[in-house]
Structure 1
Amino acid sequence: MKTLSKVLSLAVAMLMLASLLAGCGEKQDETTGTKDSLIFSINADIVSMDCHMARDTVTSIIHYQVYETLVRNQPGEGLVPGLAESWEFSDDNTEITFKIRENVKFHNGDIMTAEDVAFSLNRAIASSFTTSYSGTMDHAEVVDDTHVKLCMKQAFGPVLQCLSVPCLGIVSKRAVEELGDEGFASAPVGTGAYKFVERSSGEKIVLQGFEDYWRGAPEIKDLTFMIMTDRNTAAIALENNEVDVLYSPDLADREHLESLENVAFIPGNGSVYMWVIAFNNESSIFSDQRVREAISHAINREEIVDGALNGFGMPVEMPIVPSVFGFDPEFKNQEYDLEKAKQLLAEAGYPDGLTVTIKLNQSSTYTRPAEIVQAQLRQIGVNLEFELMERAAFLSDVTTDANYDITLFMFTAGYPDADYVLYGRMHSSNIGGTNYIRYNNPDVDALLDKARSSSDEKERKELYYKISEYVRDDVPFIPLMTDNVCIAANSALKGVQANIGECHYVFDYSWAE
């Protein structure tokens, strides 16, 4: 019966897919005969089409097509000029003056001005959605027709990285003022390679190539993002040439996708995601450093990578993943030592071990590694009892209310700099917010403050190494592993890259002739 149910469910999903894809079939340029449409499968709906009102990964994929930023994070190149041709820092690094690119058109035909840029930055700074990126920014002001000055509250090393994310994108001031915030979200106006056509909530987002795009008209003219939450269904659709790009394919499908002639499975080089065991450092059990360290000594990272990621990832000992600034490959965490772990538990008052509830997002992304950790900790007498929760309830209970003892979750570097994760998760000023491990250490606070305000890369790396030593010795959380971002696409599609920042610019794509 279970097999029949699974088959029926898949059949229903494929019928739904067929109806969604109606009207999204292949389209060819009538003058060249070359295919110029593309269907891109995403695994969730977007939050908003207003770039200043969302910052999640899936929404950002669409925003990268519609909006642009002053600085662009170009896959394979790093930070390059975007809507700003150049920039200059003041001597104390608290002001940045941008030379604005001229003759750039918005989708409504207006020419982008310095007024639009300053307005956009100030609107983004005022949004609660951008705080992780704009928290050190004070305001932007027009200098003259081609220059805008960004004034900082303090010097901030990763500021250019922050300015490259879509939630600090440039919008049409006139469109926002005429339509209002709600109206703008329904009819957004940016400068990107694609302009908005329509959104069917829970189904698809349709975009069209912008012929007046300042870098030249895109080769892909019609772009549809299909929302397909079932990754297995999406993989079948890719195999059947019903979609052209599959974002975030399930690792279980990797071997099959790699075997197909019409599919290119494209692995990246690491990611910005780090799985961690996170403790509530104020809980009655885990406020004791000895208990936290005991668990650290019982963790076999290689085993977790092999079992949870099918080997498609790497162990992480430093609280910074390899793709993020500040990483040092020589750093070592606590050694694997079960006897040391048992000794520490006994010293902490648990000679016979202990039982504790671990709250988990019910997704297999977290339950699979948690099951391996559960088996590992059983060897030292620590019994983890699972409490599985839907995502919204988990986020409310754990990340908002800190109503937990221990969890296994993922820290994400919203920009590829150690500051994003370490300052957000460890600085005491963020307790009650992003510091849901409730860690409070004045020495670490001072190191974090110094690292984020410095513009000297060598000094910043040394500071993040010292902070990592605190993570190793004090064990406020335990870094486990990172994965490799990957993407699958029709093998005839050129220009597709898997990249750690999930910066998927369809402007770079084209069909082989």
Structure 2
Amino acid sequence: MIKSALKWTAAISVASALLASSALAARTDLTVGVRLEPPHLDPTAGAAAAIDEVVYANIFEGLTRIDETGAVKPALAESWTISEDGKTYIFKLHDGVKFHDGTDFNADDVVFTLNRARGEASVNAQKALFEPIESVTALDPLTVEVKLKRPTGSMLFNLGWGDAIMVAPESAETNKTNPVGTGPFKLGKWVKGDSIALTKNPDYWGEGAKLDKATFKIIADSAAAVSALMAGDVDAFPIFAAPEMLPQFEVNPRFKVVIGTTEGETVLSTNNAQKPFDDVRVRKAMAHAINRKALIEGAMFGYGTLIGSHFAPHNPAYVDLSGVYDFDLAKAKALLKEAGLENGFKARLHLPPTDYARRSGLIIASDLKKVGIDLEIINVEWGQWLKQVFKGKDYDLTIVSHTEPMDIGIYARDDYYFQYKNADFNATIEELNATSDEAKRTELLHKAQKKLNDDAVNGFLFQLAKTGVWNAKLKGLWANAPVQANDLTKVEWMD
């Protein structure tokens, strides 16, 4: 009896220990809150940041990748060499890489991807990234030669954008709804208007993800986002869109509040081809009429950095031009009078659905009203904004954060929605693109920033801060956003 009792007690102890161990085991699931639902899941066929925020590094990978610090790292290319003249790149690919459908990734896929991105039929929103490429050749299954028309100092960085992810000819045309990449996660289920679930790729070629499942929960309303975090229905909002609500999380030990930097230049985008905005005096008048310090306080609750050109303040080549157009209503009125608009004028302000845009729009409309500029505020959803403003160029003013990395070159694109055309600026960017010497590149970047400021091309407002809130037991989420990404590849729960 005693022996039986001892055996029973031991069995209970073992069972209890196993149950306790199971209860304490780290979680392998994650629910991430996002403000916007992507229009589709193919980053090679759309400009919306919400696409990359789900798929970059998770589902899709490129030859290179950008890490949290903004540095270029190897990805599907394990190494590369560059010729002395800077015009020939040889990429050595990882062996044994497969797409999610089981097909092999090899040099032929690189040739297909880059030729597709730069071809006449390309719908890539960043097609200009691939313009310097002259030819792409598979030297063997694991070696690719990329020849350039001219030296392009940013080529490795460009290949790390979400727009440059590798795709396969077998699945490229259906990636919008059924994304097939090489990444550590696969698409599980997309419930339109609600969530996008990813599952761990058991056959991943590299170091596998720590998580078995990750769900992106779409929550547009800020109050609902707070409730979801408090209830534990959402574990993290890497980009929390309501900075006014951060203090309640800062004092709660269940959460971390992490303030980082982004590449998001928030601008009053201006249609430079539309009257009266084709007159630099009008654009400068608006710059003087907007109280940008008050805008950051009122719209962003103090989170944000003043800018005077389209360039991130954390970049070593940044020039602080934020004080050139000081808040001065008298200067604004004088410039409008000089332009023959002393009685003011009316214009449209299209606002996408982000909180920063809607809040900033109201404040800017109030500021410009004081100098006689009467704005009609038109709130639009992202689909309409992309169609009418970004693609159709049917707008006067809009407010948006341009979160693409090192994207000052967009002002040299003839068909870009700002419709800014300046031969001197274009020449500067052309020289920059052909320059690899860092000191010379910095000099050219200074020149480009100053030209945009001199021409007051847009209303340069502030650099968007990255305000993240997540469960204090999580680690591996990015504090900064050098690219549009919610990289979950290193995320895990701490015991």
Which range, TM-score by smaller chain?
0.7 to 0.9
The 5 A counterparts of 1:71-470 are 71-76=64-69, 78-109=71-102, 111-126=104-119, 127-129=122-124, 130-171=126-167, 173=168, 176-177=169-170, 181-182=173-174, 187-249=178-240, 250-268=242-260, 270-324=261-315, 326-329=317-320, 332-351=323-342, 353-361=343-351, 363=353, 364-379=355-370, 381-391=371-381, 392-405=383-396, 407-414=397-404, 416-417=405-406, 420=407, 422-424=408-410, 426-427=411-412, 429-430=413-414, 433-434=415-416, 436-470=417-451
Q: 1:31 to 1:163 in 2, by over 3 A?
A: farther
**In structure 2, what residue type is equivalent to 1:104?**
V
Whole-Å separation in 1 of the counterparts to 2:141 and 2:393 = 48
How far 1:508 sits from its partner (Å)?
Answer: 0.8
Q: Secondary structure at the match of 1:120?
A: helix
**Offset from partner CA, 1:224-263 (integer Å, 9 cap, x none):** 2222233322321121111212242222321222232222
Larger gyration radius, structure 1 or structure 2: 2
Residues 264-307 of structure 1: CA deviation (Å, up to 9, x unaligned): 22221x22222223333333323332222222233332111111
State which drifts further: 151-160 or 308-317: 151-160
Deviation of 1:81 (Å): 1.2
Aligned counterpart for 1:505 among listed residues 483, 487, 490:
487
For the residue of structure 2 that corresponds to 1:308, the secondary structure is helix
**Counterparts of 2:321 and 2:55 in 1: how far apart (Å)?**
37
CA distance in 2, matches of 1:394, 1:56: 10
Which secondary structure does the structure 1 equivalent of 2:44 belong to?
Answer: helix
Structure 1: segments with no counterpart, 5+ residues: 1-27
Tell me the CA shift for residue 371 of structure 1: 2.8
State the distance in 2 between where 1:157 and 1:208 align: 37
Amino acid at match of 1:74: D
Kept in 2, the 8 Å contact 1:297–1:337? The answer is yes
Structure 2 counterpart SS, 1:91: coil
Letter in 1 for 2:294: E
Q: CA deviation at 1:165?
A: 2.1
Equivalent position of 1:16 in the other structure: none
**8 A Cα contact 2:238 2:486, kept in partner:** no
| Structure 1 residues 293 and 219: alpha-carbon distance in aligned structure 2, compared to 1, 3 A threshold | closer
| Aligned residue type for 2:157 | Q
The offset of 1:481, in angstroms, is 0.8
- Name the amino acid aligned to 2:445: Y
> Structure 2: how far apart are the matches of 1:495 and 1:357?
45
Distance 1:331 1:458, change over 3 A: farther
The structural deviation recorded for 1:469 is 2.4
The CA distance in 1 between the partners of 2:189 and 2:386, in whole Å, is 31
The alignment partner of 1:197 has SS state of strand
Map Cα deviations across residues 121-171 of structure 1 (whole Å, 9 max, x no partner). Answer: 334444312414333334421112331112334432322222112332223
Residues 154 and 382 of structure 1, relative CA distance in 2, 3 Å threshold? farther
Partner of 1:43: 35
Give yes or no for contact 2:401–2:464 (8 Å, CA) kept in 1: no
| TM-aligned CA distance change 1:99 to 1:301, over 3 Å | same
More helix by share: 1
Distance 1:307 1:263 in 2: 25
RMSD over aligned CA atoms reads: 2.8
C-alpha separation in 2, matches of 1:30 and 1:51: 39
Report if aligned partners of 1:397, 1:403 keep a CA contact under 8 Å in 2: yes
Amino acid at match of 2:346: V
Cα distance between partner residues in 1 of 2:427 and 2:130: 21
- Aligned partners of 1:396 and 1:483: how far apart in 2? 24
Separation in structure 2 between the aligned mates of residue 259 and residue 52 of structure 1, nearest angstrom: 41
Q: 1:265 to 1:354 in 2, by over 3 A?
A: same
Given that 2:258 and 2:468 are in contact with CA atoms closer than 8 Å, whether structure 1 keeps it comes out as yes
C-alpha contact 1:43 1:247 (8 A) present in aligned 2: no
The offset of 1:50, in angstroms, is 4.0
Instruction: Give the drift of 1:186.
Output: 5.0
Partner of 1:479: 460
Report which stretch shifted further, 471-480 or 322-331. 322-331
Q: Tell me the secondary structure at the aligned position of residue 489 of structure 2.
A: helix
Measure the CA separation in 2 of the matches of 1:335 and 1:31. 59
The residue matched to 1:142 in structure 2 has which SS? strand
TM-score w.r.t. length of structure 2: 0.85
Q: CA deviation at 1:455?
A: 1.6
Question: C-alpha separation between the residues in 2 aligned to 1:180 and 1:399?
Answer: 24
1:451 offset after TM fit, Å? 1.6
Q: 1:160 to 1:346 in 2, by over 3 A?
A: same
After alignment, is 111-120 or 143-152 more displaced? 111-120
Flag the structure with more relative contact order, 1 or 2, with Cα contacts below 8 A and sequence separation at least 6.
2
**CA deviation map 1:332-353 (0-9, x unaligned):** 52344433333323322244x4
Q: In 2 relative to 1, CA 384–321 (structure 1 residues): closer, same or farther, beyond 3 Å?
A: farther
Which structure 2 residue ranges, 5 or more long, are not aligned?
1-19
Secondary structure (helix, strand or coil) at the match of 1:226 reads strand
Looking at structure 2, the residues matched to 232 and 374 of structure 1 have their Cα atoms a distance apart, in angstroms, of 25
User: What do residues 352-379 of structure 1 show as CA deviations (whole Å, max 9, x unaligned)?
Assistant: x413223221634223223333333344
| Matches of 1:386 and 1:120, distance apart in 2 | 43
Please point out which of 55, 61, 67 is paired with 1:63: 55
Q: Secondary structure at the match of 2:337?
A: helix
Shift of 1:388: 1.2
